[in-house]
Amino acid sequence: MTPVNPMDLGFLLLERRNQPMHVGGLILARPPTDAGADYAQRLIADMLQFKQAEAPFNQRLQRRAGVWCWTQDEDFDLEAHVYHLSLPEPGRIRELLALVSKLHSSLLDRSKPLWEAYVIEGVQDGRIALYIKVHHALVDGVAAMRLMQRVTSEDPAAELVAPWALPPRERRAESGDTHGSALTALVDAASQFRRHAGSAKTVATEVLRSIRARKSDPDYVSVFQAPRSLFNQRISGSRRFAAQSYGLDRIRQAATRHQATINDIVLAMCGSALRRYLLQLGDLPDKPLIAMVPVSVRRDDSDGGNQVAMILANLATHLDDPLERLDMTVRSVNHSKERFARLSQGEILAYMSTVMAAHGANIALGINPGWQAFNVIISNVPGPKNPMFWNGAAVEGVYPVSIPIDGAALNITLNSYADNLEFGLIGCRRTLPHMQRLLAYLDEGLDALC
C-alpha cells in the first residue's frame, strides 16, 4: 500500500461531480481490407485475453487512517473496465464525438482502478475507434500520449497489446520535450507554494515588475489582467468534445512566412477562432483573452524531473487584423520567456505557485470576480512522428480528450501525429453553446496566415 503523492492527491481533491478529473484519448483507425465483418468482435475477444493488469491499471484507492493510498485490486474484474459499443448508422464522426462527449462526462468509480476503455465499431466507412479514459491521478497528458504510442506500432503486422497489460515505465520528463500537461503544471505549482516560500522576495519583485511593465507596455501580460469572459464560469458536469486534424505543412508554411514558430501559429489560430466564436455570441470582451500555456524551462541535458512552467500568452482577440494578432501574441510569449530567463528554476516555480494559488483561491472563494489569471488552457503534447497501426488497422487520428475546470470551461489540447496536428477541444456543454463551430474557425484562422 502506497500513499498517494501530493500532486496526484491534488487531482483527487479537485474532483467533483461537475469536474471529473480524468484525461482521455481517442484513436480512429481503418481495419485492413481483408479484416472481415467480425473484425471488431475478434478484436475485443483478443483484448479480453489480457486479463492481468499491470500498474497503475491494477491499483485502486483505499483510505487508511485518513490518508488516501494506492493498493492492488485483489478482485480485479477486466470486464468492468473494457466495453464494446457500436454507433447507430450511418456512424458519422459527429455521432462518434457525441458518444465520447457523453462517456467523458461521467465520473470513474473509485471502488475500482480508475480507468475505462471502449472499442467502438460502426464508424462510417468501416472504421473503428478506441476511447480510453484514465484518472489524472494515475497519468498526465504526456503519459497518456505515450501509452497510446505503446499500444500502436509502425509495423502493421505487430501483435496486439492491450494498454492495461503493458509493463509500467518510469514516470519522467524527457529531455527535448517542449510542452507538458497544463493541469499537471497547474497542480504542481499550487502544491509547491509553501515549499518555495523562501523565494517570496524575488517573486514579489517580479510580480510588481510585471504590473508596472503592463502600464507602459501593452504586450506585457501581467497577473490578473485577463478579462471576465464566457469561458470563466463555474461549469456543469456535461461535456462536449470536438476534434479535427490540421496539416502540419500548412502550419509550417505559415510559420516560415511570418518568421514565427509552430506554437506561435497554433496560438494565433486559437485566438482567431475564439474571437470569431465570441463575436457570434455577442460576448467578445473589449480586452484580449489570455491563454495559459505550459512550456519547458529545462536548462540542462538531464532527462529526469518535472521542469514545466506556464506562460500567460496574449491572444490579442481585441484586434481585427490576423497579422496584428499574431505579432502581439508572439511579443507576449517572448516577454514571458524573458521573465523566466531572469529567474532560477526554484524562483520560476515559486512565481507560478503564487499566481496559480491566488487564481485558484479566487475561483473557489469568489474573492474578486474581476481577477482572472487566464481565460483558456492551450496545451501541446508531442505525438508519433510516423503513421502507426493498431492490430493491423491504420491509425488515421489520435485525439486528446482533456479536462475543463471551474473558471476555465474550455480546454484546447493538441498533439502531433505523422503529418498533422490533432486538436481535441473539450468544454462544458451548458456553458459553451455550439462549441464545435470552433473547428471551422480554427481552419479559417490558419487560412488567414497562409
Q: Provide the annotated active-site residues.
A: 136
Instruction: Report how far residue 300's alpha carbon sits from residue 309's, in angstroms, rounded to the nearest whole number.
Output: 15
Per DSSP, the residues of 115-128 read: EEEEEEEEEGGGEE
CA 356 to chain centre: 17
Q: Which residues have CB under 8 Å from 38's CB, separation 6+?
A: none
Q: In sequence order, what are the residues at sequence separation of 6 or more whose Cβ sits closer than 8 angstroms to the Cβ of residue 157?
A: 392
The interaxial angle of helices 182-191 and 345-365, nearest 10 deg, is 90
- Give the integer Cα–Cα distance in Å for 424 and 380: 10
Q: How far apart are CA 130 and CA 121, in angstroms?
A: 9
What gap in Å lies between CA 23 and CA 144, rounded to an integer? 8
Neighbours of 106 (CB within 10 A): 14
C-alpha cell at 34: 481483408
- Report how far residue 433's alpha carbon sits from residue 420's, in angstroms, rounded to the nearest whole number: 27
Distance separating alpha carbons of residues 263 and 256, to the nearest angstrom: 12
DSSP character at residue 113: -
